[in-house]
Structure 1
């Protein structure tokens, strides 16, 4: 492995909104995000915690270990040659998406100030994760898949590779990839190249980039980012962290992308547009708009057919007279899950999915 690549050498759109320079974190402005179902790689959001390793795209090896009869390693070349290649469209979303809105409800300290643009959709290509697991003689005690990255992260005076895990019985494993292409090209280092996990419907924190190892384990990962960081804790007390749920499935969510709150609007027909997403095995079922604080709702049109593990963009035309409006936006999924009126506040500002409220002014 060579030295980490500097963020400034990484090609991204000049319009990207940088949330943090080092390590590099950025998202596409909402007004651009809804332009296309699949984002060009130059516009795909970036979430990093540490270094961006520079790895050989052919010889880098993935180690498979833990509770299985025979540990083994596979180079990326061997993965390409020995495992089937498929492509699928999937959306990845940061757990901190819409954090700024939750912060406005109750302050959140020390976390990146993500707006509603901490997600993107791409066409991923690679080997099905299931194809790799079928090569393993897994012991009955194995209950979790534990992943570790080649990157280097520093927390509390310790340096280690980023990591996380998912249960071995997670249904979305059937739709997960060992991805080495993105939008028809080799996976860039910035987005986890030469090999990363793509686990749709699950919080993006589990789609580990720069994949180094997969371990079959009786317990969830002991990595800091599984056991400490990505939890829905209600306070910073140690006891709260130990009992707080670990993040897993994405919650149902809908966001208004256009018009933006500061965009001047003229009375008449106004088009509202945005995105909706949900997690696990659910599908986005409907998006609704209210201009009277939830007393009545109007259904928006889903532009994109609901697809497992993907967002759907939506649109609605409204006749608005001169005045100020508070636009409420909510989504409902195929399991009947619907956005709540109030956020489930937590100290990290994760999984904010309360009904979005956007003020619009029509002149």
Structure 2
């Protein structure tokens, strides 16, 4: 794993670890945290459901298992800072981890639908947002506070949003949010709150630092240290994106026929319909083969063969379309922002081919 920090523990897999199968092994799944991984006693842990509800709840894991229908969904999670390294190459982004392409992973999540739990609490007519509070306390927040965030009530009531206790058929590891985490398909990973201990139905978005201040798309000239809740745009649905996983940027490969592999993700309720690859920096293109997704809320792996001449340094470039006809933007420079969020520009990989002997 590529380690960006030990505490908070922030790691991503090498690109090749994501290319072989539609589901990411637990050991290779990226981990993005904002504070120390909390220690939680599963036997005494309870989930509080409060706010604009007629019936407040305090639920144990056993209550969730016995009282609601269990659901398993394959879902891709993607950090808002995925591919930030492409932006730091244009202009420095102090204080932010230089995530590559690996802050994206896919797993099968097992738990209960958030909508079912909220239904049992009977939300009032004023319900407009659902906020989540975690057990970890982040010193990155101002002031230090438990991690949190929120999603619109309409999204929370969708059948795809889960309260999950298992990952790829195994109990949810502590580093990935055990005993229980939120899984919000199609939204940035920051909204899939780990170690969730409180769900609050409310009329306004969460005022938690990581909802109101941190995960916002700021204009290029903004000082992020001075930005407040009214600055920039709140991040929610994932933008159309793709990545080149093999060969990785900087790799040396034999000349001749070479298979190029990657992933593409549309986010929210969109799907990828086409991926193109160029082996000459964008001068010419060929359509890649798209693998079927593992589910309605997952990435699609893609591959194609290219012919590479010996002793050259070709630039591989990829681009994806979704089913609305949207195409990824070409340039990371046009997307640069002070936090390095949402780099969904065309991915590029400079490689070297061996000379014939």
**What is the rounded CA distance, in whole Å, between the counterparts of 1:240 and 1:153 in structure 2?**
18
Q: Does 1:105 align with 2:117?
A: no
2:318 is matched with 329
Structure 2 counterpart of 1:267, from 255, 266, 282: 255
Deviation at 1:159, TM superposition (A): 2.8
Structure 2 counterpart of 1:243, from 225, 231, 235: 231
**What is the rounded CA distance, in whole Å, between the counterparts of 1:294 and 1:171 in structure 2?**
40
Change over 3 Å in CA distance of 1:156–1:206 after alignment to 2: closer
Normalising by structure 1, we get a TM-score of 0.91
Structure 2: runs of 5+ lacking an equivalent: none
Structure 1 ranges of 4+ moved more than 6 A? none
Deviation at 1:290, TM superposition (A): 1.9
Alignment of 1:38-187 (within 5 A): 38-155=23-140, 158-170=143-155, 173-187=158-172
SS of the residue corresponding to residue 8 of structure 2 reads coil
Contact preservation (8 Å) 1:172, 1:200: no
Change over 3 Å in CA distance of 1:172–1:271 after alignment to 2: farther
**What is the rounded CA distance, in whole Å, between the counterparts of 1:201 and 1:75 in structure 2?**
27
Contact preservation (8 Å) 2:211, 2:234: yes
Deviation at 1:94, TM superposition (A): 0.8
2:208 is matched with 223
Which shows bigger deviation, 52-61 or 153-162? 153-162
**What is the rounded CA distance, in whole Å, between the counterparts of 2:42 and 2:325 in structure 1?**
43
Aligned length: 348
Change over 3 Å in CA distance of 1:267–1:35 after alignment to 2: same
SS of the residue corresponding to residue 149 of structure 1 reads strand
| Pairwise CA RMSD | 1.7
Normalising by structure 2, we get a TM-score of 0.93
Structure 1: runs of 5+ lacking an equivalent: 1-15
> Could you give the per-residue CA deviations for residues 86-122 of structure 1, whole angstroms, max 9, x where no partner exists?
1111111111110011111222111011111111111
**What is the rounded CA distance, in whole Å, between the counterparts of 1:172 and 1:265 in structure 2?**
48
2:286 is matched with 298
